Amino acid sequence: MPPPRLLADGLTLFEDVLPAPEQRALLAAVERWLSSGRRGALAGKAYQRPPDEWLRSGQSRETIQFGAYVKCNKVSHAAVPPLPAELARLLERLEAAAVFTAAQRPDSCCVNVYEPGCWLPPHVDSAAFDRPFFTLSLASAQRVVFGEHIGGERGEWHGELSVLMPEGSVLRLDGLAAGPWKHALPRATRRRVSLTFRKLGAESRARFEAIRQASAEAAEARRARCLAKKALRGRKPRVVAGEAGARLLWAWTMREHILARQSEVAVPASPWERRSDGAPGSCASAE
Ligand SMILES: O=C(O)CCC(=O)C(=O)O
């Protein structure tokens, strides 16, 4: 691996980090995730396709997100799967190659799939992510434009610096290069896949965890109330695991108990005795 090249403040290019056979293996994994995502088989919001309107103009790309969910450069608590084994192994390799230190090790990845003509507008990555962050390039070598002011429109960008990202290379963004400098992706000339690795800041991670936990508890409580209502209406209970199951069993047992007590204390129904004048009353043997 050649020595890293410092291109500007905080901007470092690591070339030939991943040999060709490993690039192919990673691309094959991306294709598997992509086809699962397209048929709705990836958990949570892991797979995202840009709106048709954006696709028509070439803006954006298909994404698969692990570890953190980002939409329009905003990070939210929405659930996505954790980093898969393939990416955990890749991170070990990048750490061994001194692309980052153990303390900087990313915990999320956005896999970007750009078809020819796709581009990204100038932006600074969300401040919810620690610096530095890293992008591994696969499938074709494309450019990224950096600058405090990036001019142009719809994928025709110009700025202070234009960097070619070869296949198998990693670009590390830190310092000025990670903000306030922006970066933008010009229209891809060929299909390109990139993996952006970032570490969610501790404060954001704790906040998102707390939101997820509270909403899981609220959903569980709603489910338990719903099951209990059904049981009290006399629906036969199914065996349900966990707290919801225990509540359901309790509701059903209470219902059975109340019904049993009712039948013990109720006076058996008897036909009214008939009076001799035919009116309901005292004498049953009128005929
Ligand atoms: O694909 C790349 O090289 C960069 C992607 C990017 O800027 C982003 O996901 O915010």
**Per-residue pLDDT at 273:** 45
Reference 91, options 195, 2, 167; nearest CA is: 195
| Total-model pTM | 0.78
pLDDT digits (tens, 9 = 90+) for 116-159: 999 999 999 999 999 999 999 999 999 999 999 999 999 999 99
pLDDT digits (tens, 9 = 90+) for 251-277: 778 777 777 777 666 655 544 444 445
Interval 218-244 mean pLDDT: 76
Residue with tokens 């040999």: 19
Reference 176, options 5, 17, 6, 3; nearest CA is: 6
**Per-residue pLDDT at 224:** 82
Q: Which residues line ligand 1 at a C-beta cut-off of 6 Å? A: 110, 112, 120, 125, 135, 144, 183, 185, 194, 196
Reference 106, options 199, 196, 173; nearest CA is: 199
Question: How far is the C-alpha of 50 from the C-alpha of 61, rounded, in Å?
Answer: 6
Question: How far is the C-alpha of 93 from the C-alpha of 106, rounded, in Å?
Answer: 13
Tokens of 31: 């294709």
Give the whole-number percent of the chain exceeding pLDDT 90: 68
132, 172 contact by CB (below 8 A): yes
* pLDDT exceeds 50 at position 27: yes
Strand partners, 200: 129
Residue 43 Cα, ligand 1 centroid: separation in angstroms? 22
106, 94 contact by CB (below 8 A): no
Any residues with CB less than 8 A from the CB of 77 and at least 6 apart, and which? 69, 207, 208, 209, 211, 212
Give the whole-number percent of the chain exceeding pLDDT 70: 90
Choose which residue among 144, 146, 195 to substitute to test ligand 1 binding: the one with the highest number of ligand atoms within 8 A of its C-beta.
144
